[in-house]
Amino acid sequence: MVIVTGKRPVVPEIDPQQAWERASRGDAVIVDVREPDEVAEVAVPGAMVIPLGKLDEQVETIPSDREVLFLCRSGNRSAYATDFYRQRGHERTANITGGIIAWTKANLPTTRGR
């Protein structure tokens, strides 16, 4: 189970532009840990969707052959997801700074609804 405490974990960060470039090249997979209703509003094309509360039970579905970049609304939940994933021995992972808010501000590709 992913434990969310009051203090955000310190994890590697990547900006949205770099995340999109790596994912577009196939070097990374983006995992969106927002809830389905949030993803229905705006989503990142090609991102896996695993709500933070289900990450523990679905962690094995994440490809281990690429860097894993976690995304949420603002970067807080995805920091917990990144920390959780790293604690399970996966070093090639980072939190997308600013989440979908920063992603959309950077005018990166998005889709509506899933």
Q: How far apart are the first and last CA of the chain?
A: 25
Q: Which of 55, 72, 81, 100 is catalytic?
A: 72
Helix or strand (DSSP H, E) at 93: strand 93-96
Distance CA(58)–CA(51), nearest Å, equals 9
> Is 62 designated active site?
no
Q: Which of 56, 30, 54, 33 is nearest to 44 (CA)?
A: 30
Give how far Cα 5 sits from Cα of 10, 77, 93, 106, Å.
Answer: 13, 11, 20, 29
| Residue that is written with structure tokens 């770099």 in the block | 18
Which positions are annotated as active-site residues?
72
